[in-house]
A and B are shown apart, each in its own frame.
Chain A
Amino acid sequence: MVRRVSRREFNFGLVGLIGGLAVGCAQTGTPAPGAGQPPAPPAAPREVKVGAIYPLTGPVASSGLDCRYGIELAAEIVNGKYDLPLPLAREEGLPNLGGAKIQLIWADHGGSPERGQAEAERLITQEKVVALIGAYHSSVTATASQVAERMGVPYVNAESSSPSLTERGFKWFFRTGPHDATFGKNLFDLLRDMEKKGVKVRTIGIVNENTLYGSDANKITKQYAQEYGYQVVVDIAYPANTSDVTSEVQRIKANNPDVLFQVSYTSDLILFIRTYKQLDYHRQVMRGDSAGSDVPQYAKALGKDAEYAVTRAAWSADITAKRPAAKAVAEMFQQKFGQPMTENSARAFTGMLVLADAINRAKSVDPEAIRQALLATNIPGDQTIMPWQGVKFDEKTHQNIYAQGVNLQIIGGQYYTVWPFDLATREIVWPMPKWSQR
């Protein structure tokens, strides 16, 4: 059979292709406007560029987008005038920089550490951003922040939860959100508090997905289990994005732990919960995995089946009862993006606000001044939308020492804070009701 495409047609195609490419390369090759000037002029610039690196394509794009919305909203609140008890909300722009506006430069890493690194470099050297925020995946944050460290540019991370990130002791790296160890401890604290209420827990099971995220959490869970005196009777690491989990669930069932700790990405979690139901497994599930899955889609996708599992979180929608700003922000979010604010959005929102606040206090876009300002950050809890005591970075690790988690349960289609008990908006349901009794 002869090909139907003539050479002329092909030439046209190729010329178009190469033309497009040339444009693309020219665009990437040309320095951004203003690159010729010194990077940090003392005079207040009209715009302050902040680079944001997130997974906007690929399997985790949905969480990346949540973060993006949070950051966009934070920038809008900083740039505009809003009557909210949040830093920089009531003034237009950054007052100490002559009302300069935050301009966000977005980059997509698609979950690849190598791309995260390259994008960080591109944003710093070509787009001349004064600081970076990102990158959701712990592995990408690891490489992207390495670039920032090397080039001396402040890097704020809000949502990566691998403890190793702040343990590196980087000079330019700051994390506002809690990490897995904090989250893990919160879950065990809840168990201990439940025992005070007379619930008997002796054995626990662990099931986690098998990449950086799940393995880290697995180690922490085992460590706390030992510390708090619980016996691990089943410990399952399964490959992420697996097509079937019945065997894993049967194994859990066969070992029958009192409480099951689960760390999965949303996709696998949906499959697991459905399989629990199918195979009638109804022990209390503690989800140490909110970072990947505390998204409304999880509740939406599973409907009633999503209820009663305990979830750790750094934020919950019902915090609005305790934090006046949170209510207004969540409403703005819903209106602007047509979806409810999620934990990821709230964390990214807070990270952006902390960064903007530091840039403002630095009174310039000089990296060292911003770094010093970040170090001096001390935002009280009631000026955030988080259930935290506030934001203050540890001098050595630059981890926010006030970051903490809450534990939630979905009851009647709504997330409720059930622990710490003094912040709880609803009594915890324990143990999970049997599937047949729902």
Chain B
Amino acid sequence: MTGFSPLQHEADGLSAGLPPLLVAADRLAASVSLGVHGRRRAGIGESFWQFRRYQNEDAARIDWRQSAKSQHLYVREREWEAAQTIWLWRDGGAGMDFSSHSVSKRERAELLLLALAALLIRGGERVGFLGGGERPAASRLALMRIAHALLDTKMQAHSLPPQTPIARGAGLVWLGDFLEPQALDTMRGLARAGISGHLVRIVDPAEEDFPYTGRARFESPQGRDEALFGRAESVGDSYRARFRAHGEEVVQTAMKLGWTVTSHRTDHAPLSALVALHAAIGGT
């Protein structure tokens, strides 16, 4: 229990300043299940929302008690109470352990993930870690489960989300660097399955700025490939162009699928990323 508590506390502290997060209502589909919080609009639910005039619909909906008080016919509307299911995933590949300064990409991704989960739970949404084997839930317990799943060594090595069946209409928040070649294909597959996604692209400043000079041998984190440069600064410009292009590609793909993308550099404050994410998911 103690292994993840510092991270969880940090995440709690981070999310403390933001209002509870409700998933943007227009993304809701028929598959949503009944939840605890109202959506500030009429719909399926138990609490009273408003009386409105009867407009040529099913007569069974007329509230006769109210209609008897005046000349018009009224329909009792209830507030739409529904919770959205949000699945969370962070890239666990070896590349995420990279850090050019104090914070690695993986640490930052996990912090954001937990903070986001805390926000969603406070908003009454149901959250779960993709592939964690637990049903999504809207309690502090779910937060614990997610934190456990992050620590689980089995889940560490996977870069792409597992091929778990997800109900249509559920949301997915995917934090990672999307450098894996199959990442875009996986995205398309998920979108075809009716998932709406939010991508958070975690970027280390060194990856973006490429500050290396002199004789250097670059190795992939898995140690499979390597590239040797006599003067690393000479390839800097072409690399930066390629990196920008890769970022564009991710954004383009996501936009085509109707997904949102937030980019975050690990040398920036995590709160700014969380605020941006809050805005993207909350649809405000």
Q: Do A and B come from one complex?
A: no
Could you list which residues of chain A lie within 8 angstroms of chain B, going by C-beta atoms? Answer: none
